[in-house]
Structure 1
Amino acid sequence: MARGVSGLRKLGQGLATLAVVAVSVGAVAGGAGLIAGSAAPVSHVAPAPVPVAAMAVEMSAGYTVTRRFTGQIEAAARTDLGFEPGGRVRQVLVEEGDLVAEGQVLALLDTSILIPERAALEADLAALAADAELARLTLARSDALTERGVRSVAAQDDARLALQRAEAGMAAIRARIAGVDVRLDQSVLTAPFAARVGARLADPGQTVAPGERVLVLFDAAPARARIGLPPDLAAGLSVGDAVMVDLGGSVQAATIRQIRPDLDPATRSRAVVLTLPSRPEAVLGNTVALILEQRVEEPGFWAPLSGLREGVRGSWSVMALEQTPQGDRTVPAAVEVIHTEGARVYLRGQLPPGARIVAESPDRVASGQLVLAALAVGAAR
């Protein structure tokens, strides 16, 4: 009996095992079907062309370089004024910055010593004039008496010599008076030309030495600028040429007044003197920039700085576009940077006229990639 129960238990375990195996086989078969279904071939979709901004290459025989040279503004003329005789300053009639006319009185020296001296000389001159008149009358009477034989010839000679001595003394006195007048004239400072007072170096009551500076005048004529240029550039300019200068942030026209024939030993440059426009912003001593355009004959083309790609060892390239049946395709082209100007560069490379290049962000596309090119307006301007 026990042996029969044990047999039935073994039979039930065997049937359960068969059921599990059947379920496992079904699951494996279903998984294989799913895997086979997922392995079915899928159709390939080509990537869409990348839109890029492009520009056409316009070849040029050369380019123009704008160069700036800095100089200093100076007056057309500068004069240091002082009293020749020296003495005590009586009055200064102008202030710094005043505009004065030619011949205007600017300062006076104390002449209280010269006035009585001149008066004394005039008194001496009057006395000698009286002596001369007396000698003239004596000579006239002596001539009349000598003709009648009443007076001797010696007396006549004495009268003549007395007149000559009086006249000589008068001449000497007149010369001394003229000397005093010169000193009086030198005690008055006048403007030699229309000018602006730059500096006032003496005040009333101050004693100045002969020739010591009292006032500094700057010519009221339009200011000038002195600018050093390389000899080759200066040789291409001529007196009277109109040039452009940057004066206080404002670009204005100026005229070349003079070109020095020698070189500055320190800078090895030639000085060019410009006549500036008569504007208030031309402050003496301020800086001014001369703007010159220089033509460089070098074949090449302009491109935007954003169209350059940096390579290894300092090399540069642009991404050119070639037409294919599938559309525009990118091709790298080596170039050489000749000149930079703001946001554009002047390049030299083996690109034919009319060739198109990527004008912006060429690193976004790879070599051989299809792109959708759109014209970039003003890309190389």
Structure 2
Amino acid sequence: MQFKLFALVNLINYQEYLLAIFDTKRKKITITSVTLLILLILGYFLSGPKDDSQNYSWDLVSQGEVRETITASGQVRAQRQSNIGTSTAGEIKEIHVKDGQFVQAGDLLLTIDNVRVSAQLEAIRKDAQRLKNQSERTGELFRKTEILYRQGLVSEEDYRNQKNNAEATSLSYQAALKNIESAQDTVNKAILRAPFSGRITGLKAEKGDTAIPGMSNIAGALLMVISDMSHMQAEIMVNENEV
């Protein structure tokens, strides 16, 4: 019984000792916490407020249009272009322009040496001159025959023969004049001129090449390209979902 009482007294004393130690530590922790809080408050006021203006951008708000930018690839070319070809075949005698050169409407571009057509034109002109002289002679003879016919000195058969002969030579002469016009047009087409003012953007022909009539992919068909650079247009491939 005395042993139990002694043990109980010792337990109570040990408990009081632990409480005393805990109370001392709690006071130390409280004092330390208060000291740190005071130091933090003093540090804040001594350092002053921080300038955060550099972390932000400022702009004046105003009403405007909202635009969306779409990035795409394509090509820019002249709105007006002309592929220069020829309607007559022949050897390219002379090229009067260079690639990238600016030309005015009507400027000489290229000359085709069409010897065959030129020779035909000369022959047609000579034949036309012969027919002209013949038509003039038969016409004059018919007028004289007509006078004699009215006087009853020439038969009706001779009169009609002279009339038919004069009309035939006149028609032959008119046909020769049309042949001259056609041959001259062919010769003129051998001299290519600029259809409008622009820049030579694709010179394909070279001196000595054979020009071929038409606008096919055959070499010699497309001689050069003229572009009016004053008006341009852009051809861009854009996804329909982005438009």
TM-score (norm 1): 0.46
Equivalent position SS for 1:116: helix
Alignment of 1:121-140 (within 5 A): 121-140=124-143
Equivalent position SS for 1:125: helix
| Equivalent-residue separation in structure 2 for 1:141 and 1:61 (angstroms) | 98
Aligned-pair Cα RMSD in Å: 3.3
Give the direction of change, closer, same or farther, for the CA distance of 1:84–1:269 in structure 2 (3 Å limit).
farther
- Equivalent in the alignment of 2:223: 214
- Equivalent in the alignment of 1:113: 116
Alignment of 1:278-289 (within 5 A): none
Quick check: 60-69 or 149-158, which moved more? Answer: 60-69
| Equivalent-residue separation in structure 1 for 2:77 and 2:138 (angstroms) | 65
- Equivalent in the alignment of 1:185: 188
The answer to whether residue 240 in structure 2 is matched with residue 268 in structure 1 is yes
- Equivalent in the alignment of 2:206: 203
Cα drift, residue 224 of structure 1: 2.4
Runs of 4+ in 1 over 4 A off after TM superposition: 38-43, 58-63
The answer to whether residue 50 in structure 2 is matched with residue 51 in structure 1 is yes
TM-score (norm 2): 0.70
Cα drift, residue 110 of structure 1: 0.2
Q: Do 2:103 and 2:194's aligned partners in 1 also have CA atoms closer than 8 Å?
A: yes
Q: Which has the higher contact order (CA 8 A, sep 6+)?
A: 2
Aligned residue identity for 2:96: L
Give the direction of change, closer, same or farther, for the CA distance of 1:192–1:149 in structure 2 (3 Å limit).
same
| Equivalent-residue separation in structure 2 for 1:151 and 1:63 (angstroms) | 99
- Structure with more of its chain in strand, by fraction: 1
- Equivalent in the alignment of 2:69: 67
- Equivalent in the alignment of 2:178: 175
Q: Do 1:83 and 1:188's aligned partners in 2 also have CA atoms closer than 8 Å?
A: no
Unaligned ranges ≥5, structure 2: 1-23, 215-220
Cα drift, residue 65 of structure 1: 4.8
- Structure with more of its chain in helix, by fraction: 2
Percent identity over the alignment is: 18
Aligned residue identity for 1:47: L
Cα drift, residue 200 of structure 1: 1.5
Cα drift, residue 192 of structure 1: 0.8
Aligned residue identity for 1:217: I
Give the direction of change, closer, same or farther, for the CA distance of 1:60–1:98 in structure 2 (3 Å limit).
closer
Aligned residues: 198
Unaligned ranges ≥5, structure 1: 1-34, 230-266, 272-381
| Equivalent-residue separation in structure 1 for 2:119 and 2:64 (angstroms) | 81
Cα drift, residue 186 of structure 1: 1.0
The answer to whether residue 232 in structure 2 is matched with residue 223 in structure 1 is yes
- Equivalent in the alignment of 2:9: none
